[in-house]
Amino acid sequence: MATTKCIRNTEDIMRVILGNTNEYHGEAREIVTDSELAFLPELALGIVEKLNGTLQFIFAEDNRSQNNAFSLHHVFSIPSHRCMLHVMSEIPADTPEFPSLALRLPSANWHERKIADMLGLTPVGHPDPRRLVLHEDWPEGLYPWRTDFDQTQAVPRVEGTYMFHKIDGEGVFEIPVGPVHAGIIEPGHFRFSSVGEKILYLELRLFYKHRGIERFMEGRSLLEGAIAAERISGDETIANAVAYSQAVERALGLAIPERAKRLRAVLLELERTHCHLADIGGAVTDVAFAVGAAKAAILREKVLDLCERISGSRFMRGMIVPGGLRRDLNNRAVLQVANFIEVELCAVQELESSIFSRSSIVDRFTRTGSLSAEHALKLGVVGPIARASGVPVDARINYPYGFYTMYPLGLITRSEGDVASRVKLKFDEIRQSLAVIKAALDGIEQGAIYGDDEATIIHSQALGWVEAPRGQAICWVEITETSKIAQCRWRTPSFSNWPALPLALQGDIVPDFPLVNKSFNLSYAGNDL
Amino acid sequence: MRKFRCKRICRPKVTIKDLDRRPPSYADRWAPMLAGNGCSGCMACAEVCPTGAIAFNNSGQILFKHDACIACRACTDLCEPGVLILGPGIGGAVTRSELSYVGSTDKASADEPAIRPLKTPGPSKTIKIFAKSMHVREVDCGSCNACELEIAAISNPVYDAERFGISFVASPRHADVLFVTGSVTRQMELALNKTMAATPSPKLVVAVGACACSGGLFGNTQFAGAGVDASIKVDIYIPGCPPSPRAILSSIRGLQRGTITRSEHDHSR
């Protein structure tokens, strides 16, 4: 993680990567480099085109009190070198703007708009300069992530309208949906432009649930940070807490004991199992297959019940902390999990065959909501959605951490990219998750669950990442000398995947929207933060 | 055959009989409580609590505000004498003050309960208007989605809320009861008010989860509000982070049977 001097092109990057020998306990590396704003567009394109890297995350912070500049961070992942490349550049305080990458790298779109909203930095050349996170009633010129923003002052509501994209033409009409939806789900606004039943265009308007979590984390203790991370998105409790904890552990150079690594993997995979079962149940509900939905709900309830028995919380809250685990699983709990896997595996097989043996379901699932590999790649889609479209991304394999450095996990992909392939992939992943749990418990030994190393701050900042049920979540943490969180930024899988939903829907009919949306299963809370 | 199936699907814990027998305050372990005497009054728990759900007053009493508690277990992990444990919390209540409990830090006499309600519920009018049929509209105003998942879970075959006449409807126009979760974010406040206006009277509002009851962990900022009752009047508070399906169901059952009473007030203003 050594910082090197300014990089200008891909040759510099290769030199940095090959010259970097910093290993972090056998896990994938984070390589931090400096660059300048002027080199960024060329650099980013070079990484994506020549090194087959992906733009994962762009964020910024207000450093004006220290060096009279904002700092801009670009995070690329380079799977061929198993590393995260973290490029930092400075934006002088008197010219608050930076070159936009969004036109050539569409995955930069939302990241840059979020930076513009929260810090008032203008992405020059951005094709869509509208607000993203802050809604129209937020006053102009107030930037909540700037250090001079007064957090005690009430923010007035101002008049304003959000300019939706207008699709004109004979017979084109708009269907506004939300923010309050018909089911028991989270709020978000969708605006369909359609001709008859065919969807021409779907525009998303999210961030109704913006709670200011990244701002909330500033100045909190490391334990409070873990508690907050658990509450970013309900069914990604463990995943987000592990991403945060790994970032802190990397910053502090903490090694966690092997028992904690194994148990973290168990908890992560249990979470993936119940999250995927909820998705499958939701998808079959939307094609009116009530029996399958009931079966999936019962299976999921069993997983949640197991989680409650072993951890005291159905969503396994209060388990993860930087350095290891907050509480151990006793032998009885380990045995319960091991026994559970065998039973669950049979039931999952049965559910899969009962779903895919019905032609009416297969008919609705096949070629609905197709997302091409090209689109998925360009938008930086992650997780099961990317894998169902044939894009081989899985943080557990590409950038391994914890137990996954010891366990050879096979990459599961499918090529069709439709609802059927996403549902089938989730079944495969449940089976894989149960196998991982089995392997993690097989060689488990008694021992410490919390590393009692002296925590010395070796880096003031680090990235942590995890393959959450919805895809790769990335957390960046900066730690103060007094072991508090200075800043924290999140890139959740939902933030990457939401922009792909309108593309998957093109050419489909409006009644297929719930089905496609459910097969994507994106978190609103995790996106809005 | 029928009996066998019922048993197989439904865990013995949540049969109808059990739910009715159980006091409405039942919830699975989620709130800190004093497990006996011996609290040294070191106040470490109050300092570590991220939501300010534990406080000490001048007369040496420890105050638990269950509306704000997120059961993060920071306090119980830290308690030096080990008397603070995570125990059965309380379920639904009609006012926020009824969600506050006090415990004595001194060596109190053995027959005095370790914790007791701060206020005994005042006289209130029992209503059972939706006792046999209750149509619920859920409105998410900024939760983490865990509360939604648990509310959705009460209508699954395991908890099967339909057997109590509780069903979820797609429009506020069809609803008797609004379940509101989340601290009411700045960007959801308007939508909540519109949903409230669209729901016909008589209606009840149920705040589900710590965020809805008090603002929770992320509340009381410019983006996240101080709970549902800062925007609209709330009839029932169900605390928890998230409250388990059992806790939600038993609270609603209490309302239906009139064991949770609510004071008379009018939403039609």
- For residue B64, what pLDDT band results from cuts at 50, 70 and 90? confident
Phi then psi dihedrals of residue A77, to 5 deg: -110, 135
Percent of the residues in chain B that have a pLDDT greater than 90, as a whole number:
18
CB contact under 8 A, A144 and B222: yes
Q: Please list the alpha-helical segments (H only) found in chain B.
A: 2-9, 16-21, 44-48, 74-78, 146-153, 189-198, 210-214, 245-257
| Distance separating alpha carbons of residues B70 and A237, to the nearest angstrom | 14
Q: Is the peptide bond preceding residue B24 cis, with omega within 30 degrees of 0?
A: no
CB contact under 8 A, B241 and A231: yes
The kind and range of the H/E element at A361 are helix A359-365
DSSP B151: H
Q: Which of B30, B188, B221 sits opposite A216 (nearest CB)?
A: B221
Residue A5's pLDDT is 66
| Distance separating alpha carbons of residues A477 and A487, to the nearest angstrom | 6
Burial class for A131, CB neighbours closer than 10 Å (0-12, 13-18, 19+): middle
Q: Chain A partners of B181 at a C-beta cutoff of 8 Å?
A: none
Q: How far is the alpha carbon of B122 from chain A, nearest alpha carbon, in Å?
A: 33
Which of A131, A180, A240 is the mutation pick for testing B, counting most B CBs within 10 A?
A180
Q: Chain A partners of B11 at a C-beta cutoff of 8 Å?
A: 305
Angle at A45 between CA A40 and CA A50, to 5 degrees: 130
* Residues near A21 by beta carbon (within 8 Å), at least 6 away in sequence: none
How much is the CA Rg of chain B, to the nearest whole Å?
A: 19
Residues B156-207: pLDDT tens digits?
A: 888 888 888 889 998 999 998 899 999 999 999 999 999 999 998 888 889 9
> What is the number of other CB atoms lying within 10 angstroms of the CB of residue B230?
15
CB contact under 8 A, B153 and A297: yes
Q: Which of A144, A179, A305 sits opposite B188 (nearest CB)?
A: A179
How much is the CA Rg of chain A, to the nearest whole Å?
A: 23
The owner of tokens 């728990």 is B45
Q: How far is the alpha carbon of B158 from chain A, nearest alpha carbon, in Å?
A: 6
- For residue B71, what pLDDT band results from cuts at 50, 70 and 90? confident
3-state secondary structure of B247: helix
DSSP A62: E
C-alpha B115 chain-centroid distance: 18
Burial class for A461, CB neighbours closer than 10 Å (0-12, 13-18, 19+): buried
- For residue B264, what pLDDT band results from cuts at 50, 70 and 90? low
DSSP A515: H
CB contact under 8 A, A294 and B144: no
CB contact under 8 A, A315 and B158: no
- For residue B65, what pLDDT band results from cuts at 50, 70 and 90? confident
The owner of tokens 């069903």 is B167
Q: Which of B28, B149, B191 sits opposite A179 (nearest CB)?
A: B191
Burial B89-125 (b: 16+ CB within 10 A, else e): bbbbbbbbebbbbbbbbeeeeeeeebbebeeeeeeee
| Rounded alpha-carbon distances, angstroms, from residue B157 to A307, A427, B55 | 19, 21, 41
Residue A334's pLDDT is 85
List the one residue out of A471, A179, A156 whose CA is nearest residue B182.
A179
Give mean pLDDT, residues B72-98.
77
Q: Select the more confidently predicted residue: B27 or A216.
A: A216
Q: How far is the alpha carbon of A232 from chain B, nearest alpha carbon, in Å?
A: 6
Q: How far is the alpha carbon of A312 from chain B, nearest alpha carbon, in Å?
A: 7
| Rounded alpha-carbon distances, angstroms, from residue B43 to A354, B54, B62 | 56, 9, 9
Q: Chain B partners of A213 at a C-beta cutoff of 8 Å?
A: 218
Cβ(A246)–Cβ(A476) below 8 Å: no
CB contact under 8 A, A317 and B142: no
Pairing of strands B115-117, B166-168: unpaired
Q: For helices A290-311 and A258-285, give the axis angle rounded to 10 degrees.
A: 160
CB contact under 8 A, A234 and B156: no
Residue B32's pLDDT is 79
> What is the number of other CB atoms lying within 10 angstroms of the CB of residue A328?
18
| Rounded alpha-carbon distances, angstroms, from residue A305 to A235, A272, A414, A466 | 14, 15, 31, 24
Q: How far is the alpha carbon of A104 from chain B, nearest alpha carbon, in Å?
A: 32
Q: Select the more confidently predicted residue: B252 or B17.
A: B252
Token duo for residue B192: 């909540």
Cβ(A315)–Cβ(B146) below 8 Å: yes
Q: Select the more confidently predicted residue: B1 or A291.
A: A291
Q: Which of B172, B187, B224 sits opposite A207 (nearest CB)?
A: B187
* Residues near A134 by beta carbon (within 8 Å), at least 6 away in sequence: A117, A118, A144, A207, A210
Q: How far is the alpha carbon of B88 from chain A, nearest alpha carbon, in Å?
A: 11
| Distance separating alpha carbons of residues A11 and A26, to the nearest angstrom | 26
Residues B86-111: pLDDT tens digits?
A: 776 666 777 777 777 777 765 444 45
Q: Select the more confidently predicted residue: A373 or B117.
A: A373
Residue B122's pLDDT is 54
* Residues near A188 by beta carbon (within 8 Å), at least 6 away in sequence: A178, A179, A181, A204, A205, A206, A208, A524
* Residues near A336 by beta carbon (within 8 Å), at least 6 away in sequence: A306, A309, A310
Residue B90's pLDDT is 66
| Distance separating alpha carbons of residues A483 and A75, to the nearest angstrom | 24
Angle at A113 between CA A111 and CA A114, to 5 degrees: 65
List the one residue out of A515, A510, A509, A472 whose CA is nearest residue A490.
A472
> What is the number of other CB atoms lying within 10 angstroms of the CB of residue A424?
20
Cβ(A80)–Cβ(A101) below 8 Å: no
Give mean pLDDT, residues B245-262.
76
3-state secondary structure of A494: helix
Burial A213-243 (b: 16+ CB within 10 A, else e): bbbbbbebebbbbbbbbbbbbbbbbbbbbbb
CB contact under 8 A, B140 and A154: no
CB contact under 8 A, A187 and B195: no
CB contact under 8 A, B224 and A212: yes
| Rounded alpha-carbon distances, angstroms, from residue B100 to A92, A114, B247 | 51, 40, 17
Q: How far is the alpha carbon of A259 from chain B, nearest alpha carbon, in Å?
A: 20
List the one residue out of B192, B195, B268 whose CA is nearest residue B230.
B192
Q: Chain A partners of B157 at a C-beta cutoff of 8 Å?
A: 294, 297-298
CB contact under 8 A, B171 and A185: no
Q: Chain A partners of B146 at a C-beta cutoff of 8 Å?
A: 231, 234-235, 237, 315
Q: Chain A partners of B223 at a C-beta cutoff of 8 Å?
A: 144, 210-212, 215
Q: Which of A153, A187, A227 sits opposite B50 (nearest CB)?
A: A227
Chains A, B: CB contacts within 8 A come to 154
Q: Which chain A residue has the Cα nearest residue B141? A: A209
Alpha-carbon dihedral sign for residues A127, A129, A135, A136: negative
Token duo for residue A274: 């119940």
Q: Is the peptide bond preceding residue A502 cis, with omega within 30 degrees of 0?
A: no
Q: Which chain A residue has the Cα nearest residue B152? A: A184
Q: Which of A252-266, A377-391, B10-24, B135-149 has the lowest mean pLDDT?
A: B10-24
Q: Which chain B residue has the Cα nearest residue A227? A: B72
Q: Which of B145, B157, B217 sits opposite A235 (nearest CB)?
A: B145
CB contact under 8 A, A216 and B241: no
> What is the number of other CB atoms lying within 10 angstroms of the CB of residue A19?
10
Residues A195-228: pLDDT tens digits?
A: 988 999 999 999 999 999 999 999 898 899 999 9
Q: Chain A partners of B50 at a C-beta cutoff of 8 Å?
A: 220, 224, 227-228
Q: Which of B217, B221, B244 sits opposite A231 (nearest CB)?
A: B217
Q: Which of A179, A184, A313 sits opposite B138 (nearest CB)?
A: A184
Q: How far is the alpha carbon of B119 from chain A, nearest alpha carbon, in Å?
A: 29
DSSP A458: S
pTM: 0.90
List the one residue out of A89, A204, A210 whose CA is nearest residue A138.
A210
Q: Chain A partners of B154 at a C-beta cutoff of 8 Å?
A: none
Token duo for residue B169: 């409807």
- What was the ipTM of the complex prediction? 0.90
| Distance separating alpha carbons of residues A199 and A182, to the nearest angstrom | 20
Cβ(B32)–Cβ(B64) below 8 Å: yes
Q: Select the more confidently predicted residue: A281 or B23.
A: A281
Q: Is the peptide bond preceding residue B123 cis, with omega within 30 degrees of 0?
A: no
Q: Chain A partners of B77 at a C-beta cutoff of 8 Å?
A: 326
Tens-of-pLDDT digits for all 529 residues of chain A? 444 567 777 778 787 777 777 777 778 888 888 888 888 888 898 888 888 889 999 999 998 888 889 999 999 998 888 888 899 999 999 999 999 999 989 999 999 999 999 999 999 999 998 999 999 889 988 899 988 888 888 888 888 888 888 888 888 999 998 799 888 889 999 999 999 889 999 999 999 999 999 999 998 988 999 999 999 998 999 999 999 999 998 888 888 888 999 999 999 999 999 999 999 999 999 898 999 999 999 999 888 888 888 887 889 888 898 888 888 888 888 888 888 888 888 888 889 999 999 999 999 899 888 999 999 998 999 999 999 999 999 999 988 898 998 888 889 999 888 999 999 999 999 999 999 999 998 888 888 788 766 666 666 889 999 999 999 999 999 988 888 898 999 999 999 999 999 999 888 899 899 999 999 989 999 998 8
3-state secondary structure of A489: strand
Cβ(A393)–Cβ(A387) below 8 Å: yes
Cβ(A336)–Cβ(A346) below 8 Å: no
| Distance separating alpha carbons of residues B85 and B76, to the nearest angstrom | 5
